[in-house]
Structure formats: C-alpha cells, structure tokens
Structure 1
C-alpha cells in the first residue's frame, strides 16, 4: 500500500480558533480526517503529524524515506527555515507545500518561501482545498 505523510507546522494545531478570518473555522483534526478518508478511498495510507518545533518537523521529514510523498504546511518556518529547506532537499519523496492563505497577498515577510524551491509544487490561497489538491497531485 502507498503511504503519504500529512505534515503540519507551528500553530496549525490552532486551526479553527486562530484568526478564523484568515484561516477559516475548519480544525486540523477535520483536515486530517478528510485527507485520511481520501486515502482510504484511493487505497493510500495517510499518516498525520503536526509539530510546533523545527527539529521535530525535520525528524518527520527524515522519516519520509518510508513514504511515497508528503503534503506539508510548514507554517511560518516557510519564510526562514533553511534547516527545513535542507531536510526537504535531502529526501527522495516528493513534497507539496500547502498554505491555507495566499502568502503572496499578506505581509511582505510572507512573500518569500525558502522551502518552495525544494518542493515538487506549492499550493497557496485555496483554503483547506489546497490539502486535497496536494493529495491528488501526489497520486499522479
């Protein structure tokens, strides 16, 4: 059976509560259930992980050698974590970077993703639908 990791970074555990005008009211648990259900429907095991700690996210990416792909929302680490960028570059599994909000239409410090150049693709600004689109992209 194929396996996909759904990995979420800092503060995404607060989805549904944190700035709902930007991120909506859907919780991380709802997203994880939706993507897990998509996996069941398509015969793909989905392993969900979240951390607020950079090193733990790197460890999770290192585990991706056992996966066929990674859906990853690095949160604020997107904009400055070269260590996470290097972890993405080090693995063979394709990574799709997802952001619920359009990072290019927000504060200027959010306009640059240091992680995106090492990913297979980036989906931004489509809300939680971005996670579903990333799942289908990894299926191909």
Structure 2
C-alpha cells in the first residue's frame, strides 16, 4: 500500500482552475476601485499572460470613462488608440462609431437624453401588443390614457 501512495506524498496540489471567461469579463467591467483585492490580483495575473487582453481592458475602461463622465471630446483620441492595436473586434466597434460620429460625440457630451421618451414608447407598444386582436381602438385609447 505504501508503494502505491509514495509518488503522491511529495507532490504539491495543482493550482486552482483558471477563471472562466465570464468571471474575467466581470472583473474587467467592474470599476477597478470597486474590485476586491483578491480579484484584482487574479485579473492582473490574467492580463500579464495575455497582452491582447490587457490592451482590450485598457480600451474598454477608457471608453467607460468617456461614457460615464460625458467626455465625448476624447472619442477621436480613443479611436486612434484603438486603431494602433491589433484588435479586430475593437476596430469593428470603432468603425461603427465613426459611421455617425457627430451623433455619437453629441450623445457622449451633452447632458440630455431621450431615455424617458423611449420608456414611454416602450410602455405604449407593450399595451398595444397585449390588446392586439382583442378590442378596438377606443378600448386601446382608454387603456393608454388611464395607464
């Protein structure tokens, strides 16, 4: 029995499983100051081993800062930085932003939003779908006005 267990006694346990892509994504999308120290160290380890992931993380965090702080004037600088790296998916995203650059910059700079209007439109469409084929326009009108 001892001969059977002998090879395993001196060995150290293997490292824990690597983090899942979902976990790494969560770490990247969480604000760095809100990330627990243990997770921050694990993320740092992942980024050290993959330079592409490190560049992607930098670009995502920079874009999040532009988005949350309404710094649309930095967008062209950000797009230039994205183009400097070899990240095809980010190039595709940047191309999409450039298609209507003026509107994107305005959306990332101005404090106004059409979110409230979009919410009301969504509510009206939901009521219309619930009523489809069940009643006429007069009942639909009453539901919309009373809702």
TM-score (normalised: structure 1): 0.26
More helix by share: 2
Larger relative contact order (Cα-Cα within 8 Å, sequence gap ≥ 6): 1
